[in-house]
Structure 1
Amino acid sequence: MLKDLKLSHIVSGAVAVLVGYTGSVAIIFQAIEAVGATQSQANSWMLVLGLGMGLTSLIVSLVYRMPILTAWSTPGAALLAVSLNGVPLAEAVGAFLLCAVLLTLTGLTGWFAALSRLIPDSLASAMLAGILFQFGLSAFTSLQSDIALVAIMGLTFLAGRKLFPRYTIPAVLAAGVAWCTGTGAFGSLEALDLGLARPEFVMPAFSLPVLIGIGLPLYIVTMSSQNMPGVVALKACGYEPPVSASLTVTGLASLILAPFGGFAFNLAAITAAIGAGPEADENPKTRYLAGVMTGLFYILVGMGGATVISLFLIAPKALVATVAGLALLATIGNSLSSALAEPQGREAALITFMTTVSGISFLGIGAPFWALVLGLAVNHWLKPPEPVPVRA
């Protein structure tokens, strides 16, 4: 294996981890804040998320000799950030475990294809767009609190989309950090924790409204918005990924690590193209080493989870909100485009989107679940009747 290792594998692995973290770690941080976790619990989250992604990427890449990258569920983190306010951490862990069980069963039983047909793609996309909407909006509402910082990050985003699209979000983060450093906007560096993170176990508790309102939507967005695109990304690069086996591995990792903050793991979608593309290696048969290197880098960064969390604690809120919002703009746009593409299901998709954005809650169950219920009901009601076969 070592004789096939190239510099391009190492670079691809490092870039994949950089893009993965800078593109969504701000959203993870907001989810941690929403549930009211202590700093030691937050450190634990970042530790196990890094370890989980690293170990699962290593296992599936080595076993199947393919560059199969895994990731935390970014849309799942966005869902948690808007849904966990007021939810006890123990009950949130219970919801993570429900999602993990469903992910594992999906892999073991081969339910993937059947489930993908059960919920129309347009409704899943509309729900995801609704969940992420507030994050996109935050990139603009932050202008009121720090117009100079947000303007510089916005201009960097526009320049990056045209000149270096793959590295746009890292560049946005770098520009924001540089501005905050120059203006003294960061908090005291004495709060910076350079120690190794430690896992902290949280005993799960189970609440039916939380399981239905958070656990099920977490599973749905992880499947529809991460695992499905992850499979498509690998196939587009010429691979036939072991879907059921990969889902089983990521599901079991979620099940084991959920009490420590590993809320959901899945196939990577965005970073998958970095490790599976020709930039990683001209030879498709040895590109799996890019997946191996990505896994190793994830583990190293995960062990420094305390440092990652402390960096976000001293950062201005406008910096975190703007990075998260700009990182999700493309996903919001693609989700809305997919949701509204077909005129026949447009009303159901719009109702799903608007119900999710509304933030309504009934019986202690949050808006994403009710959005899906209403969307499915409207979609079924407005669906044209099946033509009656004519008998000769």
Structure 2
Amino acid sequence: MRNVFSDISLSAVVAGFVAVLIGFASSVAIVFQAADAAGATDAMKVSWIMALGIGMGATCFFLSLWYKAPVITAWSTPGAALLATSLNGASYAESIAVFIFAGALALILGVSGLFDRLMRWIPLPIACAMLVGVLFNFGVAIFTSLEASPVVVLVMLLAYLISKVILPRYAVIVVLMAGVIMVLFQPHTNFADIPLSIGALEWVMPEWNTSLILGVGVPLFIVTLTSQNIPGVAVMRASNYETPVSNIISWTGVSTVLLAPFGGFAFNLAAITAAICSGDECHRDPLKRYIAGLSAGVFYAIAGFAGATVVGLFSVFPASMIAALAGIALLGTIGANLKAAFDDERYREPALITFLTTVSGVSFFGVASAFWGICFGLLILMIQTIKKAS
């Protein structure tokens, strides 16, 4: 722990905070939609937030500490969207069984080592192109947010440009402060209605419904794998972190199985928020960026225990401010991965196909575009390889 204290930096701690802020603010509404579809009461919804906060906090903190890398986990946002449209008619106890089943599949995939071997078959330029496709709309959102909140976003952009020249290491911190200050001066900002309370976990015994488990549990596992875990590994590989991803997937599966009865529906590797914690803006030294993972773990746990208070707090910040903050925080990552994806001429066309497929958002059989981007990119690469061999 002595080394940990010596490695702590303000930029890494803030990167972890920004990751949690963006993770919660960008998709907590979808989680509540999933909870509504499962038939959760208000108390159960608070239990969901608490279980998710504890699970993400524990996995972020201890995995980052163990591997000395910014291992950032998250709930499955695409999984929540799937649940919001697929659980109608199911009982709450049957929904819990679906979560446990999907978590068990992730555990099996991790323990078997198949996921690690699968990811090593994917060349880095194709993985980087897929990651850029995932992050592309976040960069564009900086400028689309100008229409909704021109003054706030322009001030944040100006703060970023100035801080990149004067204080490049703390650019995201300056942008966050600028955004918060601008929101505080908005006439409609109101903190009075935010509840102050500590959450409580509610255990529910699962009820096993085979058709529901297969019809929703398997798609939940596939969507989480293709939309979250694969891009999450791409972030780590693009930042040169060679952590054993099968072990990490195993722990996310364990966390899901243990916390599912309380509402922890799916845990996985993060992609967007992980990119914030693994770039140069977090810390110049890659060996010290794990502090951002520890920081994210602490803030996730605090957010989980605060429950309703955190949800109310995040609702104060306008969506345009959150979108601009996410995009600005990811600019460095987008630029670096664009270069890595298209720098090598041998992989340029496969990487381009991967990027275009991913950014298109196309979905076949309910499987997300990130998966198909890699598939089409690898297919083009294979065809090129065969052509050159002949």
Q: Same fold (TM over 0.5)?
A: yes
Partner AA of 2:121 in structure 1: L
Partner AA of 1:263 in structure 2: F
1:140 CA displacement: 0.5
1:218 paired to 2:214:
no
1:313 CA displacement: 1.1
Q: Counterpart of 1:331?
A: 333
* Contact kept in structure 2, 1:53 and 1:70, CA below 8 Å: no
User: TM-score when scaled to structure 2?
Assistant: 0.73
Compared CA separation, residues 223 and 383, structure 1 to 2 (3 A)? same
1:276-307 Cα distance to aligned partner (Å, 9 max, x none): 96997xxxxxx999987875565334422433
CA distance in 2, matches of 1:139, 1:288: 27
Q: Counterpart of 2:357?
A: 355
After TM superposition, list the pairs within 5 Å mapping 1:255-334 onto structure 2: 255-257=257-259, 259-265=263-269, 271=277, 298-334=300-336
* Contact kept in structure 1, 2:11 and 2:283, CA below 8 Å: no
After TM superposition, list the pairs within 5 Å mapping 1:233-244 onto structure 2: 233=241
* Contact kept in structure 2, 1:191 and 1:314, CA below 8 Å: no
1:159 paired to 2:169:
no
1:114 paired to 2:110:
no
* Contact kept in structure 2, 1:250 and 1:266, CA below 8 Å: no
CA distance in 1, matches of 2:222, 2:118: 17
Q: Counterpart of 2:131?
A: 128
CA distance in 2, matches of 1:27, 1:298: 9
Partner SS for 1:190: coil
Compared CA separation, residues 271 and 356, structure 1 to 2 (3 A)? closer
Compared CA separation, residues 137 and 84, structure 1 to 2 (3 A)? farther
Compared CA separation, residues 279 and 45, structure 1 to 2 (3 A)? same
After TM superposition, list the pairs within 5 Å mapping 1:134-149 onto structure 2: 134-149=137-152
1:173 CA displacement: 1.9
* Contact kept in structure 2, 1:312 and 1:320, CA below 8 Å: no
Counterpart among 15, 20, 24 of residue 16 in structure 2: 20
Number of residue pairs aligned between Structure 1 and Structure 2 = 364
Q: Counterpart of 2:29?
A: 33
Compared CA separation, residues 363 and 256, structure 1 to 2 (3 A)? same
Partner AA of 1:194 in structure 2: L
Which consecutive residues of structure 1, in runs of 5 or more, have no partner in the other structure? 236-240, 281-286
Compared CA separation, residues 251 and 371, structure 1 to 2 (3 A)? same
Bigger mean CA deviation after superposition, 244-253 or 300-309: 244-253
Bigger mean CA deviation after superposition, 241-250 or 165-174: 241-250
Partner SS for 1:183: coil
1:102 CA displacement: 6.0
User: TM-score when scaled to structure 1?
Assistant: 0.73
Counterpart among 162, 171, 176 of residue 174 in structure 2: 171
1:151 CA displacement: 0.2
Which consecutive residues of structure 2, in runs of 5 or more, have no partner in the other structure? 37-41, 207-211
1:309 CA displacement: 2.0
Q: Counterpart of 1:193?
A: 195
1:251 CA displacement: 4.1
1:314 CA displacement: 1.9
CA distance in 2, matches of 1:23, 1:300: 14
* Contact kept in structure 2, 1:139 and 1:321, CA below 8 Å: yes
CA distance in 1, matches of 2:296, 2:25: 22
Bigger mean CA deviation after superposition, 191-200 or 347-356: 191-200
After TM superposition, list the pairs within 5 Å mapping 1:203-214 onto structure 2: 206-207=215-216, 211-214=221-224
CA distance in 2, matches of 1:385, 1:209: 36
CA distance in 1, matches of 2:168, 2:44: 34
* Contact kept in structure 1, 2:229 and 2:269, CA below 8 Å: no
After TM superposition, list the pairs within 5 Å mapping 1:55-94 onto structure 2: 55-56=58-59, 59=62, 67=68, 70-73=71-74, 87-88=85-86
CA distance in 2, matches of 1:357, 1:324: 17
* Contact kept in structure 2, 1:135 and 1:324, CA below 8 Å: yes
CA distance in 2, matches of 1:164, 1:182: 25
Q: Counterpart of 1:284?
A: none
CA distance in 2, matches of 1:67, 1:250: 18
Bigger mean CA deviation after superposition, 323-332 or 199-208: 199-208
Compared CA separation, residues 67 and 113, structure 1 to 2 (3 A)? closer
1:207-226 Cα distance to aligned partner (Å, 9 max, x none): 35555445433221122223
Compared CA separation, residues 368 and 87, structure 1 to 2 (3 A)? farther
CA distance in 2, matches of 1:313, 1:222: 27
CA distance in 2, matches of 1:95, 1:350: 37
Partner SS for 1:264: strand
Sequence identity of aligned pairs in percent?
32
